[in-house]
Amino acid sequence: MHGVRAQVIAILIGAVASGSASAQLPVLRARALDATAAVKVFNPAGSIRLVGWDRDSIVVRGRVARGAHFFFGGSSQGVKLGIEDPINGGDSRPSDLVIYLPRRSQMSIKSASADIAGTDVSGWFYSVSGSIRLAGSATSIEAETMNGTIDLAVTVPWVRARTGDGTLTLRGAAEDVDLSTIAGTLNVVSTSIRRGRVSSVTGDIRVLGSPPADALLELSNHEGAVDLRLPRSVSGLFDLSTISGTIENGFTGARPAATSTTRSRMLRVRLGDGDAHVTVRTFKGPIRLNPR
């Protein structure tokens, strides 16, 4: 009996899968493209996958939802492509695009719910509710989503990323960063950030990794925690202050001092040579400075 039921389920799954595939039509476009060309892409639903390569051309492959209109136009200096929004304003059916383009192209990618994934690409990446995952090397990255997750594992001199409720994670080697969430958790795993501003309103901020010697970092949170888990060899000056939260210091015996006029608490901790300068402020979220 179990065997028959399993066979029926397998057949049903196969039917659903084939139905899904036939709801999309294949697309293939290509053209020559300058190394630093501008590339604009819009796909409301489904997925966008971007791959930077060392050729002077752009190739678009994928499957477009049946009934959706795929557009592709431009010149060697710039290309615009994607899926048009439904005229009636209804929900878009998912289309999946894979785009190969020169790695120094300046991207401008936008989606409503489509997930965006890219390797070795630079530019502006925006989704309302889809996730954004970028990896590899880039010249600059600006990633924004209203409530999707952002996962950046990149080597990049400048990155700006923000999300509302989603989780934001930065790994890799970024130098100048500006990261923020509203309620989402914010994770920073890096030892390369030289200038950084990291903030949230209610989401927790977690930082792992020792800042470089000349780093200047500022972390602020209203209600969420700021959790610094650093190697014992970390070197820097840490200015920690909270209005009504707590400060935990797992490195030294120093304890926070209350200011004379309010319940605010402050703690300055110098570790090692103290070259880097890290400032942490919270309103009521706890601050934790601990060795890994």
Partner 1 sequence: MTNSPTRIDAHLTEEERHGLADDSLPPDRRADAEAHLAMCAECAGDVARLHSLMARMTQLPDTVDAELDTLWPAIRSRIERGKVVSLGGEPAARRSRRPVRQAAIVAGVAAALVLAFTLGRETRPQANVVLTPGLNTTPIVSIADSSRAYQEEVQSLLEELELRRSTMRPATAASVDRDLRIIDGAIDELTDALERDPNNPALRQLLAASYRQKRDLLKQADNAS
Of 119 and 242, nearer to partner 1 (C-beta) is 242
Of 40 and 195, nearer to partner 1 (C-beta) is 195
Assess contact for 149 and 130: CB atoms under 8 A. Answer: no
Min dist. Cβ of residue 188 to partner 1 (A): 16
Show the tokens assigned to 79: 């290309």
Min dist. Cβ of residue 15 to partner 1 (A): 30
Q: What share of the chain is helix, strand, coil (3-state, %, to 5)?
A: 5, 55, 35
Of 180 and 210, nearer to partner 1 (C-beta) is 180
Of 120 and 204, nearer to partner 1 (C-beta) is 204
Of 29 and 222, nearer to partner 1 (C-beta) is 222
Q: Which residues would be at the binding site for partner 1 (CB under 8 A)?
A: 110, 112, 126, 128-129, 144, 146-147, 162, 164-165, 180, 182-183, 195, 199, 201-202, 216, 218, 220, 222-223, 239, 241-243, 259, 261-262, 264, 266, 277, 279, 281-283
Characterise 131 by phi-psi region: left (phi > 0), alpha (psi -120 to 50), beta (else): beta
CA–CA distance, 210 with 236 (Å, rounded to integer): 9
Closest CA to 160 of 176, 182, 181: 176
CA–CA distance, 140 with 86 (Å, rounded to integer): 32
Report the 3 state secondary structure along 201-231.
Answer: CCCCEEEECCCCCCCEEEEEECCCCEEEEEC
- Point out which residues pair with 102 in neighbouring strands: 53
Closest CA to 137 of 150, 152, 156, 124: 156
Characterise 44 by phi-psi region: left (phi > 0), alpha (psi -120 to 50), beta (else): alpha
Min dist. Cβ of residue 202 to partner 1 (A): 6
Min dist. Cβ of residue 222 to partner 1 (A): 4
Of 268 and 292, nearer to partner 1 (C-beta) is 268
Min dist. Cβ of residue 190 to partner 1 (A): 19
Min dist. Cβ of residue 262 to partner 1 (A): 5
Min dist. Cβ of residue 220 to partner 1 (A): 5
Min dist. Cβ of residue 178 to partner 1 (A): 9
Of 68 and 280, nearer to partner 1 (C-beta) is 280
Of 27 and 45, nearer to partner 1 (C-beta) is 45
Show the tokens assigned to 54: 């060392």
DSSP secondary structure string for all residues of 64-105: EETT--EEEEE-SSEEEEEEPPPTT--PPPPEEEEEEEETT-
